Structure 1
C-alpha cells in the first residue's frame, strides 16, 4: 500500500499544480483560492527564493534556473512534445497488458481507434504549417480577414519579417515568424496554433480528452471486477451505495487497484487529468463561440482596462450615405472572403480626452466606451460559422468566392507588392474600392449582416477572459 499511496499522492500533486498553472490567471477566478494559490506558487515563493539567492549567491543560482525554464518554455525544441508522447505511450504500456485480455471485442476495436487518433492528430498539429506568412502567400492571407480597426489596424509592418501584417496575424517570438490567425504557441506540439493547423489542435484535444475518459471508465470497471473477484463482495460498485460505509468502500477500491497496479495507477492518472483536458477543450470551444483567439482575448482584456479608466473611444468608420469609405489598397485589401466589414473604429488616448475630430479614420463625434458590450467583434459571425472558419480551410463566406480561393501560383510575380490587391480584385470579379455598383451591394449586405447578428444574439460577443497562460499550452 505504501508504493500505491505514494503514487496516488504524486499524481494528485502534479494534477493540482497543472490546474493552478492553467487556470490561476483567469479573470473569472481572480478572487478565488485558485488565484491566491497561483500568486503564492508562481509569484510570491519565486520572489522570496530570488531575494534569498540574491543575498547568498548574488543571484547566480536563480539566474541559471530562470534561463533553464525560459529555454524549456519559450524556445523551440521538442522536449515537452517528447514528454507528452512518453506520457501517452508509457501509460498505455502499463495499462494494456492487464486490461486488453479482459476487454470485449467491441472495446478492443473501439479502444484501438481511440488510442491511434491522438497520435495522428498530434503529428498533424505538430508538423503542419500553422500558416506562416511569407512574400509568396502574403496576398492570400491578406484576403482572409478585413481589419476591424479595433484590435487590428491597417498599415502595421512586422519589424522582423518586414511584411505588412494581415488582420488577426501575430509574430511568434518562439518560432520567429508571423502566423496567420495566430492563437498561441503550444509547447506540447512544439508549434504555433494558427490558421492552417488549429483544427488539428482542436481534434487533438478532443481525441485526448475522449481517450482519457474512455480509459478511466474502462479502468474503474476492471478495478471493480478485480475487487469483487478478490473479496467475493458483490455489493461493491463504483458509485458507493448508501448501505456501505466509506471505509469499506475505499478498502475495496484499494484492493481492486492493487490487484493490477498498472491498470489501477493509469486509471487514477486518467481520472485526474481528464477534467483538465476537457476544460482546455471547453475553453477553446468558448473562444470559437465568441469568435476570437487566445491572442485576441488578451487584447480584449487590455481594452477592458482602457475602458474602465475611461480612455477608450469609438465612432463610425463609414461616412453618412450615400458616401462610401475610401480604402487605401496599399495597406488594406480590396476584397476579403469575410462576410462583414468593420463599421466602427476604436482608439485609446493617454489623457482620457477624446481624439481630435479630424483623425484620419472615422466620421462623426467620438463616443466614450465603458463596456466591451458596446463594441462590435467583427470576427464573431455566429458559432457555426466561426467553427466552419476553423475546420474548413480557405472557406469563402461570400457568394462570389464560393468557388474557393485561387492558388498562390496563379498570382505569382505580380502580388509581392500589396498594391496589386486592386488588380486581384478585378480578376476575382468581386467588389472593392468605391463608386462601383457592386460595392454598394456589398455595403448593403454588410449592413444587413450586422443588423441580423445584433438581432439574433444576446450573448456578449466580446470575451472578457484573458486566456490561458501561453506557457501552459
Structure 2
C-alpha cells in the first residue's frame, strides 16, 4: 500500500504541476489560486534560485540551465512527442496483457478503437501543414478572413518573413514560419496548431481523453470483478456492509495482486481531468470564435479598458478596401462594423484614421464585437471544413470592395 500510495502521490503531483503550467497564464484564471501558484512555482521560485546561483557560482549554473531550457522550449525537437508516445505505448504494454483475457468481445473492439485513434490523430496533427504561409499561398490566406480593426489591422508586415500579415495569422518563433490562423505552438505535436491542422489537434485531445477515461473505468471495473470473486460482499460503490477502512484495504490488496493494470488505471484516472480540461478549453475557444493567440490579445485589450485607454467607433458599411494592404473580397460573410484603438493618455484619438463618427470610450470587453464569432456551429465547421461555405453568404459581392453584412457579430466572450 505504501508503494502504490507513493506512486499515486507522485503522479498526482506531476499532473497538478502540469495543469498549473498550462492553465496558470490563461486570462480567465488570472485572479484565481491557479494563477497565484503559477506565479510562485514558475516565476518567484526560479527568480529566487537565480539570485542564489548568482551569489554562489556567479550564475554559471543558471546560464547552462538557461541554454538547455532555451533549446527545449524554443527549438523544434521531438522530445515531448517521444515521451507522449512512450507513455501511451508503455501504459498499454503493462495494461493489456492482464486486462485482455478478462475483456468481453465488445470491450475488445471498443478498446482497440480507443487505443488506435490517438496514434492516428497524433500522426495526422504532426504531418499536416498547419497553415505555413508562402509566396504561393499568401493571396489565398489573405482572402480567408477580413481584418477586424480590433486585434488585426491591415498593412502590418512580418519582420522575419517579409509577408503582409493575413488576418488572424502570427509568426511562430519556434517554427520560424508565419502560420495562418495560429492558435498556439504545441510541444505535444512538435509544431503549430493552425488553420490546416486545428481539427486534427482537437480530435487528438478528444481521443486521448476518451482513452484515459475508458481505460480507467474499465481497469477499475475489472479489478472490482477480481476482488468480488474473493469477497462476495464486495461492492465497487457504495461499499455495502463494509467499513471504509476495510474497503480501502481490500482495494489495496486488489491493486497489489494486479500491480501493472492497477498502476496504469491510477495513472489514467489522474491524467484524465487534465486532458479533458485542455479539450474543454479548446472547445470553449471555438465557441467564442477565437484562438489562444487571439484570447491573449483580447486580454491585453481588457487591461487597457480597465485603465480607460480603449476607444471605438463605427466603421462605414460601404467603405472601400485598399487592395494594397487587404483583400478586396473574402469568404467571410461579415465585415467589420467597428474600429478599436488605444491611446497612451486616455484621451480620444484625433481626427482621421479608419471609421467614422465619434469615439466612445470602452470600459467592458462585452461591449466589443468579435467579428470572427459566427455562432458555435459555424465556428466548429470553420475548424473542421476547409473553405467552409457559410450558407448563401459565400457568394461574391456584386460590387468589388463592398462588404455585405449578413448578421451582427457577437460580443466577445472575454
**Shorter-chain TM-score tier:** over 0.9
Equivalents in 1 of 2:394, 2:335: separation in Å? Answer: 16
TM-score by length of 2: 0.96
Secondary structure in 2 matching 1:449: coil
Correspondence list, 1:353-364, <5 A: 353-357=347-351, 359-364=352-357
Relative contact order, higher structure (CA 8 A, sep 6+): 1
Q: Does 1:260 align with 2:258?
A: yes
Q: How many residues align?
A: 414
Match of 2:85 in 1: 85
Deviation at 1:115, TM superposition (A): 0.4
Equivalents in 1 of 2:320, 2:33: separation in Å? Answer: 52
Deviation at 1:398, TM superposition (A): 5.9
Equivalents in 2 of 1:350, 1:133: separation in Å? Answer: 33
Out of 334, 351, 360, the position equivalent to 1:367 is 360
Residues 80 and 187, structure 1, Cα contact 8 Å, conserved in 2: yes
Q: Does 1:386 align with 2:379?
A: yes
Deviates more, 1:36-45 or 1:201-210: 36-45
Match of 2:407 in 1: 449
Structure 1 residues 5 and 400, CA, compared in 2 at 3 Å: closer, same or farther? closer
Secondary structure in 2 matching 1:17: helix
Equivalents in 2 of 1:242, 1:102: separation in Å? Answer: 25
CA RMSD of aligned residues (A): 1.6
Deviation at 1:307, TM superposition (A): 0.5
Structure 1 residues 397 and 58, CA, compared in 2 at 3 Å: closer, same or farther? same
Deviates more, 1:64-73 or 1:360-369: 64-73
Secondary structure in 1 matching 2:134: coil
Match of 2:163 in 1: 163
Match of 2:412 in 1: 462
Deviation at 1:139, TM superposition (A): 0.8
Structure 1 residues 338 and 107, CA, compared in 2 at 3 Å: closer, same or farther? same
Give 5+ residue unaligned stretches, structure 2. none
Correspondence list, 1:321-470, <5 A: 324-357=318-351, 359-397=352-390, 399=392, 401=394, 430-433=397-400, 439=402, 443=404, 446=405, 448-450=406-408, 461-464=411-414
Deviation at 1:4, TM superposition (A): 2.5
Residues 338 and 398, structure 1, Cα contact 8 Å, conserved in 2: no
Instruction: Tell me the alpha carbon deviations over residues 164-201 of structure 1, each in whole angstroms, 9 at most, x when there is no partner.
Output: 11000000000000000000000000010000100000
Match of 1:213 in 2: 213
TM-score by length of 1: 0.84
Structure 1 residues 28 and 326, CA, compared in 2 at 3 Å: closer, same or farther? closer
Q: Does 1:194 align with 2:188?
A: no
Q: Does 1:203 align with 2:153?
A: no
Instruction: Tell me the alpha carbon deviations over residues 181-230 of structure 1, each in whole angstroms, 9 at most, x when there is no partner.
Output: 0000000000100001000000000000000010000000111122223x
Equivalents in 1 of 2:124, 2:31: separation in Å? Answer: 39
Q: Does 1:48 align with 2:41?
A: no
Correspondence list, 1:117-128, <5 A: 117-128=117-128
Residues 226 and 259, structure 1, Cα contact 8 Å, conserved in 2: no
